[in-house]
A and B are shown apart, each in its own frame.
Chain A
Amino acid sequence: MTDKIMVKLKPIILASIFIFLFFIFPASASEITVTATVDKTEATMDDQITLSVAVNGAQRMGDPVLPSLQGFQVMSSGTSSEVKIINGTLSASKSFNYILVPQKEGDFTIGQVQVEVQGKVYRTAPIKIKVLSLSGESRKDSDSKEFFLTAEINNPNPYMNEQIVYTIRFFRKIPVSEASIEKPAFEGFIAEELGKERELSKVINGEQYLVYEIRTVLFPLKAGKLEIFSSRIKFGIVRRSKSRGFFDDPFFGSGRIEQKILSTKPIIVNVKPLPKENRPKDFNNLVGNFKIAASLSKNEIKVGESATLDLEISGKGNIRNIPEPFLKESSEFKIYNDQPRVEIGIDGDSLIGEKIFKKAIIPLKTEILNIPPVTISFFNPETGKYETISSKKIVFTGLPGGEDERLRIAEGFKGQSLQESIKVLKRDILPINTSISSLKDQRLNLSDPLYIAFSIIPFLSYLSCLVYKKRSDRYMKDIKFARNRRAIGEAKKRLKEARKCRENYKDAFFTILSKTVREYLGDKLNVAGSALTPAEIGERLGTAGINEKTVEKVKSFLENLEYKKFVSGGLSPEEKKELLISGEELLNVLERDFRRFPI
Chain B
Amino acid sequence: MKVFVLFFLFSIMLISLPVFSSDEPSNIFLEANQAYNKGDYDGAISLYEKLLNSGIRNGLLYYNLGNCYFRKGETGRAIFNYKNGKLYSPRDEDLTANLNYARQNIKDRTEIKDPEIRRRIFFWYYSLNLKELFMIFLVFNGIFWISAILKIFKPLPLLRAVFFVSLFIMLSSGISAATKFYVMENLKDGVVLAEEVSVRSGNSSNDTILFKLHEGTEIEILDESDGWLKIKLPHGSKDMRGWVEKGFVGIV
Residues of chain A touching chain B, judged by Cβ–Cβ distance below 8 Å, are 427-444, 451, 454-455, 458-459, 461-462, 465-466, 469
Cα–Cα, bound, A455→B141 (Å): 7
- Asked if B43 CB lies within 8 Å of chain A CBs, one says no
Cα–Cα, bound, A462→B142 (Å): 10
Residues of B within 8 A of A465 (CB): 149, 152-153
- Asked if B250 CB lies within 8 Å of chain A CBs, one says no
Cα–Cα, bound, A139→B88 (Å): 75
User: Would you call B64 and A432 a contact (CB within 8 A)?
Assistant: yes
Say which size band chain B's interface belongs to. Answer: 35 or more
Question: What are 9 A-B contacts with C-beta separation under 8 Å?
Answer: A427-B101, A429-B101, A432-B64, A433-B63, A433-B64, A438-B64, A442-B131, A443-B131, A462-B145
Cα–Cα, bound, A427→B145 (Å): 52
- Asked if B242 CB lies within 8 Å of chain A CBs, one says no
Q: Which residue of A lies closest to B94 (CB)?
A: A430
- The listed residue with most A CB atoms (<10 A of its CB), out of B64, B97, B98, B145, is B145
Decide yes or no: A444 and B142 within 8 Å by CB, A432-B63, A462-B148 being known contacts: no
Residues of B within 8 A of A431 (CB): 67
Residues of B within 8 A of A438 (CB): 29, 58, 60-61, 64
Which of B49-57, B110-118, B222-230 faces chain A? B49-57
Contacting residue for A469 out of B33, B89, B131, B152, CB 8 A: B152
Contacting residue for B134 out of A427, A436, A444, CB 8 A: A444
- Asked if B9 CB lies within 8 Å of chain A CBs, one says no
Residues of B within 8 A of A437 (CB): 60
**Residues 138-159 of B at the A interface (beta carbon under 8 Å):** 138, 141-142, 144-146, 148-149, 152-153
Q: Which residue of B lies closest to A445 (CB)?
A: B131
User: Would you call B59 and A439 a contact (CB within 8 A)?
Assistant: no
Distance between A3 CB and nearest chain B CB, rounded to angstroms: 12
Q: Mark B113-134, 1 if CB is under 8 A from A, else 0.
A: 0000000000000000111001
Residues of B within 8 A of A455 (CB): 137-138, 141
Distance between A134 CB and nearest chain B CB, rounded to angstroms: 35
Distance between A42 CB and nearest chain B CB, rounded to angstroms: 34
Residues of B within 8 A of A461 (CB): 145, 149
Residues of B within 8 A of A442 (CB): 57-59, 88-89, 129, 131
Contacting residue for A432 out of B67, B89, B130, B152, CB 8 A: B67
Distance between B234 CB and nearest chain A CB, rounded to angstroms: 19
User: Would you call A441 and B142 a contact (CB within 8 A)?
Assistant: no
Residues of A within 8 A of B60 (CB): 433, 435, 437-438
User: Would you call A444 and B58 a contact (CB within 8 A)?
Assistant: no
Residues of chain B touching chain A, judged by Cβ–Cβ distance below 8 Å, are 25-26, 29, 33, 36-37, 51, 55-61, 63-64, 67-68, 70-71, 88-89, 94, 97-98, 101-102, 104, 129-131, 134, 137-138, 141-142, 144-146, 148-149, 152-153, 181
Pairs A-B, 5 closest by C-beta atoms:
A458-B145, A438-B60, A442-B88, A443-B57, A432-B64
Cα–Cα, bound, A461→B25 (Å): 40
Residues of B within 8 A of A434 (CB): 33
User: Would you call B138 and A451 a contact (CB within 8 A)?
Assistant: yes
User: Would you call A441 and B56 a contact (CB within 8 A)?
Assistant: yes
- The listed residue with most B CB atoms (<10 A of its CB), out of A441, A459, A466, is A441
Q: Which residue of A lies closest to B153 (CB)?
A: A469
Cα–Cα, bound, A444→B101 (Å): 29
Cα–Cα, bound, A438→B32 (Å): 12
Decide yes or no: A454 and B141 within 8 Å by CB, A432-B33, A442-B129, A462-B148 being known contacts: yes
Q: Which residue of A lies closest to B134 (CB)?
A: A444
Cα–Cα, bound, A429→B81 (Å): 14
User: Would you call B142 and A454 a contact (CB within 8 A)?
Assistant: yes
Distance between B53 CB and nearest chain A CB, rounded to angstroms: 13
Contacting residue for A436 out of B29, B71, B146, CB 8 A: B29
Residues of B within 8 A of A429 (CB): 67, 70-71, 97-98, 101-102
Cα–Cα, bound, A442→B59 (Å): 8
Cα–Cα, bound, A440→B60 (Å): 10
Q: Which residue of B lies closest to A437 (CB)?
A: B60
Q: Which residue of A lies closest to B44 (CB)?
A: A432
Distance between A473 CB and nearest chain B CB, rounded to angstroms: 10
Cα–Cα, bound, A462→B143 (Å): 11
Distance between A291 CB and nearest chain B CB, rounded to angstroms: 39
User: Would you call B131 and A462 a contact (CB within 8 A)?
Assistant: no
User: Would you call A439 and B56 a contact (CB within 8 A)?
Assistant: yes
Residues of A within 8 A of B67 (CB): 429, 431-432
Residues of B within 8 A of A440 (CB): 56, 58
User: Would you call B57 and A441 a contact (CB within 8 A)?
Assistant: yes
Residues of A within 8 A of B142 (CB): 454, 458
Residues of A within 8 A of B101 (CB): 427-429
Residues of B within 8 A of A428 (CB): 101
Q: Which residue of B lies closest to A431 (CB)?
A: B67
Cα–Cα, bound, A440→B55 (Å): 11
Residues of B within 8 A of A430 (CB): 94, 97-98
Residues of A within 8 A of B181 (CB): 444
User: Would you call A454 and B33 a contact (CB within 8 A)?
Assistant: no
Q: Which residue of B lies closest to A456 (CB)?
A: B141
- Taking A429-B98, A432-B37, A469-B152 as known contacts, 11 extra A-B pairs with beta carbons closer than 8 A to each other, sorted by chain A number, are A433-B63, A438-B58, A438-B60, A439-B56, A442-B88, A444-B181, A454-B138, A455-B141, A458-B144, A459-B145, A461-B149
Decide yes or no: A433 and B94 within 8 Å by CB, A438-B64, A443-B57, A462-B145 being known contacts: yes
Distance between B125 CB and nearest chain A CB, rounded to angstroms: 15
Distance between B146 CB and nearest chain A CB, rounded to angstroms: 6
Cα–Cα, bound, A428→B105 (Å): 11
Distance between B23 CB and nearest chain A CB, rounded to angstroms: 13
Residues of B within 8 A of A443 (CB): 57, 88, 131
Cα–Cα, bound, A466→B152 (Å): 7
Distance between A472 CB and nearest chain B CB, rounded to angstroms: 10
Residues of B within 8 A of A459 (CB): 141, 145
Contacting residue for B146 out of A435, A444, A458, CB 8 A: A458
Distance between A493 CB and nearest chain B CB, rounded to angstroms: 29
Cα–Cα, bound, A438→B55 (Å): 13
Residues of A within 8 A of B138 (CB): 451, 454-455
User: Would you call A462 and B149 a contact (CB within 8 A)?
Assistant: yes
Cα–Cα, bound, A573→B243 (Å): 93
Distance between B68 CB and nearest chain A CB, rounded to angstroms: 8
Q: Which residue of A lies closest to B68 (CB)?
A: A432
Residues of A within 8 A of B70 (CB): 429
Q: Which residue of B lies closest to A440 (CB)?
A: B58
Cα–Cα, bound, A80→B87 (Å): 55
Distance between B99 CB and nearest chain A CB, rounded to angstroms: 9
Contacting residue for B141 out of A435, A441, A458, CB 8 A: A458
Cα–Cα, bound, A156→B121 (Å): 63
Residues of A within 8 A of B26 (CB): 436, 439
Decide yes or no: A444 and B130 within 8 Å by CB, A429-B102, A435-B60 being known contacts: yes
User: Would you call B145 and A441 a contact (CB within 8 A)?
Assistant: no
Residues of A within 8 A of B102 (CB): 429
